[in-house]
Structures are given as structure tokens and as C-alpha cells.
Structure 1
């Protein structure tokens, strides 16, 4: 299962957590600094939503998770796709998921060929292709995650973020 959690007291740095609940357990932290740029959501878009204080990050994280779900659902058996999570000045990191008959083979990867400030959801695949990106494994670990477990974890994350706590 893959889940995403927000540090409610975060400041835009190290405030989004990725948790992989498979053997071995894994967690990572990322900044939300470039999140809205990646999602191609402008400040005026946020203002029009009339979100309460602290709700913008939840909104952006839900949008990211929905983007992930859409990308993952499009993966054909034997194919793989990159799901961005870490959007830093120096590099972009995330998960490389390959669909198999047993679920998704999942690796934690990164590349310094593209940076968080230079990509958006509409040009991610083009940037990967144009820069001849070959992802570097961050961990030697690989997880095989059942399809139902994967989507259940992402759905759980979206529901948790939707709650008005």
C-alpha cells in the first residue's frame, strides 16, 4: 500500500510524507514548494477556490494523488511510468511503477536531468523523453504491490485529506 500524508504544521518544506506499507516499510519526505507549479495551478486559481487557511496544501496534494491514480491506471501490463513526488531545485524523485500480472513492481528513483521548477504535469513525459532521463534507484529495495492495495492506499490518502479535521 502507498499512502501520502501531510504534516499539518509544515511550512512548505519537508511537509509531505510518502509511506510504502510493504516489506520493508519505507517513508520519505518532500517539499510542497513546487507542488502547485507542477500541477499547473496558479495563485489566482487557488484564490478562486476560496480555501480556508491551511486547506490549499490539502487541495494540492489531493490533485497530485488524483494525477497519480490517472497515470497509474493507464499503465499497460509490462509497461512502466514515473510518478513524481520530490520536486526539488536539483532533481526530481518519485516512484517508478511497472505493471505485472501480480501487481506493480515499484522502485524509489530520482533524476537530476530535470528539476522541480522546470516540469509540469502536462510536460512531464516530454521532459523525460527530451532529456533522455534514465532514473537512478534511490533504494536497492523493490516492492511488489497488489493493484487493489495500491489503489486502496491512494484512495485512503485522498479520503483522509478530504476530511475537515
Structure 2
């Protein structure tokens, strides 16, 4: 069972990394997409949000939560569940993002997480809405920090070491 769970978390991690890569490709310059439109920004947001979701679910499964219990897209809810499983790491991520933003606001992480919590669902259908607002820097920073945490917990190495195959 433990061996199978390890295989599942590694597959989940790779899945999340693929969506993170797709998000990055939608956002980088020079244009790497033949017919670039502003909708690629939305695709980047949706892929980033989904990558965050799968990274969080990976961490939760790694910490013993059955994957069947993780049937939501709500990043805030997944984050709160993760905090109960690994409070020290969660605090480290929260403080890391607050430091990255050079924010003195003790509620900054919670406020920004609220803003991106349903980004996967909301932004997929942004064409049905009158408006949309998101802090893309927070979303990308959160995505990248979650990837780093997954690497540390699943493989005992940093993302850069993982990428190099060390």
C-alpha cells in the first residue's frame, strides 16, 4: 500500500508539473505560441490554478489523506486541510510569500489565497463574466512554492536539483 501510495503521489506531482509548464508557456516572452491572443493569459491562469490544486492534493495524499476525499477545486479549502497535516511547512509557505511580497500585512496570504481560491473554475468561464481580478504574481508564486514543497517532501531535494536529475 505504501509503495502504491508513493507511485500515486509521484504521478500526481508529474501531472501538476505538466500543468505548471503549460501555464508558464502561456506567460513567457518572446511569444512561443503561433497565434497568441489575450486568451492565452487566461489559459495561464487556469493552468496555474489547476497546478496549485494538484500540488496541494499531492501533498495531502502524501500525508495520508485518501485521494477520494479530495473532490474539490477550492484552493482555500485544500490549503486549510494541508495546514492541519503539516502546519510547519504551511507556515513556511505563508511567510515565504509574505516575504516575497515584502508585505507587513499579517493577513496578506489569506487575503490573496481567497482571491485565487476558485480561479480554476472562475477563469475557465471568464467569457461568461463581466470582469475578473487576480493577482497573477501571487498565483505563480504560490504555484512555484508548492512545487518546491512537493519536491522536498516527495524526493528530499529542491526543484532545481530535481530538474537537473540530481
Judging by fraction of residues, say which structure has more helix: 2
Pair in the same fold by TM > 0.5: no
Judging by fraction of residues, say which structure has more strand: 1
Tell me the TM-score normalised to structure 2 length. 0.30
